[in-house]
A and B are shown apart, each in its own frame.
Chain A
Amino acid sequence: MNSVLAARGLVKTYGDVHALAGVDIDIAAGDVLAVVGPSGSGKTTLLHVLSGILRADGGDVFLDGRAIGELTETGRSALRRTEFGFVFQSGMLVAELTAEENAALPMLLGGGSREESLGAARLWLGRLGLEGLEKRRPGELSGGQAQRVAIARALAHRPRVVFADEPTGALDTRTGQEMMTVLLQAARETGAAVVIVTHDKAIADRALRVVEIQDGRIAAGVSA
């Protein structure tokens, strides 16, 4: 398998808590990986280390074979901005920006021009069934709509990997499932890999592969 993102022997400790105790993972382009496990097992920590938000205490993460642990904070920040996309639990949209501006923000921050970025954002909002809502603010959107804006934001700059930490946590079951459908379909169109952290069995079932984490180790890797 030709992996985009690979983790080797990841270790992360907080004092004497071993949040990650030697994790190996390979993620290929177009892959959809669900990370499941009980609360406090280290799922969020794994996602943070994989995406370069946190630096591993041991082992490293490789993007196209390049070790990201060797990058500076600025370098990892640029990496997250260009190569990765993020979907957070409750959207975490900027309250004052409109839907299209929120979706365009990563491109603008990456140096994209106003027209180009807003154009791409509108395109994605349309694809995700949000046409007509481009000028709304997050406060004027339902939870599901806000989460679709977040998906548009995560995908508009065509990242290699999309990370989602409990993206359906604040949604009801049906809206959550709808959101998953939208996310997976959008990822398939761009060829991005998706890493989803969830504790919801029904959501995990939508993934191609599921890894279960327990006490910072992979307890079971299930390939679809």
Chain B
Amino acid sequence: MAKTTTAHGHELDRAGLSDDQLVAMLRNMLLQRQLDNRGFQLNRQGKIPFALGSEGHEAVQAGAAMAFARGRDVLVPYYRDLGLALGVGMTPFEILSSLFARDTDRNGGRQFPNHYTNKDLGVASISSIIAGHCTHAVGIAAAFKYRRESGRAVISPTGEGATSQGEWHESVNYAAVHELPVVFLVENNEWAISTPQSMQMKVANVADKAAGYGIPGVVCDGFSPIATYRAMHEALERARSGGGPSIVEAKCYRYLSHSTDDDDRTYRSRDDIEAHRKLDPVPRFEAVLIDAGVLDAAAAKALRQDVLRETNEATDAAEAQAYPTPQSLYTNVVAGDYRPWQEFDS
């Protein structure tokens, strides 16, 4: 792997990423953190009924998003993929429209926050049903293969808890048998609401399950965007060139409660969280880039301020939007005018 000797003399293993790409990843991570906090704040202010954070997943998602080929790949996200959504091109205004459930939300305010859709960007719509969408990721990959659209792949992320689901298993197995271009990214944050990994599986790593499907499985450091980028880039390139699916497990952590409706003090020790705080990927990556001379402290500060400004502007803009009309409840059930009882001119 090419290493760069920086002005400071520290070597940065940058996995082939340019300075601009490295800074883009940092910006994505800062924006994730800012938008995450904003969601929780708005909830505590009583302005929105629900929010869900990806705090602790920033590096995984910034790295995976950097490996995504815009205009070619498809992302079938799960509900904790704010950073992936941003990283593949969604805007803070879209995110906040969804948080505020406004008319400008592409789902028309129908879905929980974090359940995005943006077909133009290749972000597939999902339900809240854990792992149900993994089969869709496989189907999209099957369509790519059927149409001989090589150079395209699908990212199918989940948490580690989701890998207990039959549909996750069926998805990986189907993709393996049919050698489809899909990467199952597992964002292992150690918890599924209150259930620890040890209560989900007997193996130490989700990636170990790959052997049971006859496909590659790797573990990467989910606190490092570069490590996650490298693992995802390799898996996606293999998929895009006909090498079939793989599992990439990024070890990370969930710093916040599962959602604004959860209180993790009922099941998780503060010590556990504090221990992981030392690994916090956001300040750490900023320090790494400063240390490597990719940007200086002033530039990093400007980046943080810019992200805060963008978040504030998007918050105000989204909050000012109208709610979806009550009549919109009835649209898009099926194509056209929907009635279960059909009437004809007789």
The answer to whether A binds B is no
